[in-house]
């Protein structure tokens, strides 16, 4: 009886060790860490993963179609929109899903993941549909159907913006299971994503007013490009975490990685300021005033410096490994 109880106690202890992520190796007696499954296998973010991969593939397929069919890149009815919105939407869905797996579990995770994934999938699908119909997807109220599709796209991106804002608030209020530099990258990237989405909503609202006045909806002032401000930092949620990952892989010390990420975050902020300033001033993308040119130069240096440092560190580490 006593032996049975001792065996049960030992089994329970092993199960608890496994739940905590560690078991003792049978021969060495050292703790053995149980590997966690990849983040994309977490059921709560499966919708974002599936939609992210699907949209990315869709964008690449349309890139091939454009290569075969030809046609201009710029313009309201081109293959550019299915390509860019597919790849951009896919990367955004995957990044948002990854961030959610770094946060504590909540009962609403599945709902937000499903709703955000559906919103992105349908919005990009409507953009693709309009291109295959041979009509513009944005600022198009030529027919009742076109107007309905345009309004539906606006509602969908509004909901996705709300979900992104919820996740953004959570990464500031809840523990994020990443290193300090990666945590800063995630926070700054989500702020940039929400800012870009809000600019997209602002662009839609102001475009409606310009269309009512008989003006060009896709231009602000003389030559301001609204989509430049909208897209300038929308993918900071990809490039900032990638920079943090590269710094860690290069073996850069954590404190130094933190300073590099602070510089890159400031560079991203200045890039957003530059793009917005150019747009509201009614200027083309790279025809700015001297102060805005200085802002752009600072943004390039603050973003390029950490990137160059990480690349050099990676090359040095590879050289040292090959030398050994």
Give per-residue pLDDT as tens, 264-281. Answer: 999 999 999 999 999 999
Residue 320 lies in a domain: no
| pLDDT at residue number 323 | 66
On whether residue 242 sits in a domain, the answer given is no
Say how far apart CA 136 and CA 154 lie, in whole Å.
15
78: pLDDT strictly greater than 80: yes
**Would 132 be classed as within a structural domain?**
yes
Whether residue 188 is contained in a domain is answered as no
Under DSSP, the state recorded for 220 is: B
Whether residue 79 sits in one domain with residue 27: no
Cα 8–chain centre separation? 48
How many structural domains compose the chain?
A: 3
d(CA 232, CA 190): 14
229-259 pLDDT, tens per residue? 999 999 999 999 999 999 999 999 999 999 9
Task: Count Cβ atoms within 10 A of the Cβ of residue 110 and give its class: 0-12 exposed, 13-18 middle, 19 or more buried.
Answer: middle
What integer pLDDT is reported at residue 232 of this predicted model? 95
Looking at the fold, whether 140 and 157 belong to one and the same domain comes out as yes
In a domain, 5, yes or no: no
User: Tell me: the pLDDT tens digits for 306-324?
Assistant: 999 998 988 888 887 776 5
Q: Are residues 138 and 207 in the same domain?
A: no
Task: Calculate ∠ Cα 264-48-135, nearest 5°.
Answer: 90
Whether the model pTM is above 0.75: yes
Residue 92 and residue 201 share a domain: no
Which pLDDT score, from 0 to 100, does residue 219 have? Answer: 87
- Residue 318, in any domain of the structure: no
- 98 and 112 share a domain? yes
pLDDT at residue 9 is higher than 60: no
Q: Render pLDDT for 39-75 as a digit per residue (tens, 0 to 9).
A: 989 999 999 999 999 999 999 999 999 999 999 998 8
Q: Do residues 173 and 251 share a domain?
A: no
Are 161 and 72 contained in the same domain? yes
Q: Please check the confidence at residue 129 and state whether its pLDDT lies above 80.
A: yes
Q: What percent of the chain has pLDDT over 70?
A: 89
Give pLDDT, residue 1.
43
Residue 153's pLDDT band, with cuts at 50, 70 and 90, is very high
pLDDT average, residue stretch 28-42: 67
Q: What backbone torsions phi and psi does residue 22 show, to the nearest 5 degrees? A: -135, 140
272 Cβ partners below 8 Å, 6+ apart?
Answer: 192, 195, 229, 232, 233
Q: Is 50 exceeded by the pLDDT of residue 13?
A: no
Domain enclosing residue 271, as ranges: 195-212+220-230+247-312
Q: Three-state SS for 224?
A: strand
DSSP assignment string, 117-135: HHHHHHHHHHHHHHHHHTS
- pLDDT for residue 59: 97
> How confident is the model at residue 319, as a pLDDT?
81
The answer to whether residue 189 sits within a structural domain is no
Shared-domain flag, residues 23 and 79:
no
Report helix, strand or coil for 77: coil
Q: How far apart are CA 11 and CA 68, in angstroms?
A: 63
Per-residue confidence (pLDDT) for residue 24, from 0 to 100 = 45
One domain for residues 84 and 104 = yes
Average pLDDT over residues 89-106: 96
- Whether 22 contacts 32, CB under 8 Å: yes
pLDDT of the residue at 320: 78
Whether residues 50 and 169 share a domain: the answer is yes
Which residue is listed with tokens 């600019």?
Answer: 199
Same domain, 273 and 287: yes
H or E segment at 106? none
Please tell me whether residues 75 and 146 are part of one structural domain.
yes
């Amino acid at each position: 009886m006593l032996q049975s109880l001792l065996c049960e106690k030992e089994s329970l202890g092993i199960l608890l060790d496994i739940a905590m992520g560690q078991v003792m190796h049978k021969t060495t007696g050292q703790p053995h860490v149980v590997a966690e499954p990849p983040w994309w296998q977490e059921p709560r973010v499966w919708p974002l993963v599936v939609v992210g991969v699907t949209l990315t593939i869709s964008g690449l397929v349309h890139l091939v179609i454009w290569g075969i069919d030809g046609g201009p890149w710029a313009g309201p009815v081109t293959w550019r929109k299915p390509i860019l919105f597919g790849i951009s939407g896919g990367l955004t869905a995957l990044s948002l899903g990854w961030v959610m797996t770094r946060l504590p579990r909540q009962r609403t995770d599945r709902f937000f993941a499903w709703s955000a994934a559906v919103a992105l999938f349908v919005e990009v699908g409507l953009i693709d549909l309009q291109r295959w119909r041979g009509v513009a997807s944005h600022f198009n109220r030529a027919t009742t159907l076109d107007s309905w599709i345009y309004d539906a796209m606006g509602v969908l991106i509004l909901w996705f913006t709300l979900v992104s804002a919820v996740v953004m608030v959570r990464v500031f209020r809840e523990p994020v299971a990443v290193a300090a530099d990666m945590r800063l990258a995630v926070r700054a990237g989500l702020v940039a994503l929400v800012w870009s989405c809000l600019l997209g909503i602002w662009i839609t609202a102001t475009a409606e007013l310009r269309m009512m006045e008989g003006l060009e909806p896709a231009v602000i002032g003389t030559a301001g490009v609204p989509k430049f401000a909208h897209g300038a930092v929308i993918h900071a949620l990809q490039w900032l975490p990638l920079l943090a990952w590269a710094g860690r892989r290069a073996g850069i010390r954590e404190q130094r990685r933190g300073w590099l990420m602070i510089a890159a975050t400031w560079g991203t902020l200045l890039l957003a300021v530059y793009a917005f300033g150019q747009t509201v001033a009614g200027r083309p993308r790279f025809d700015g005033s001297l102060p805005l040119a200085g802002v752009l130069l600072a943004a390039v240096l603050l973003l390029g410096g950490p990137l160059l440092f990480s690349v050099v560190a990676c090359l040095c580490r590879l050289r040292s490994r090959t030398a050994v």
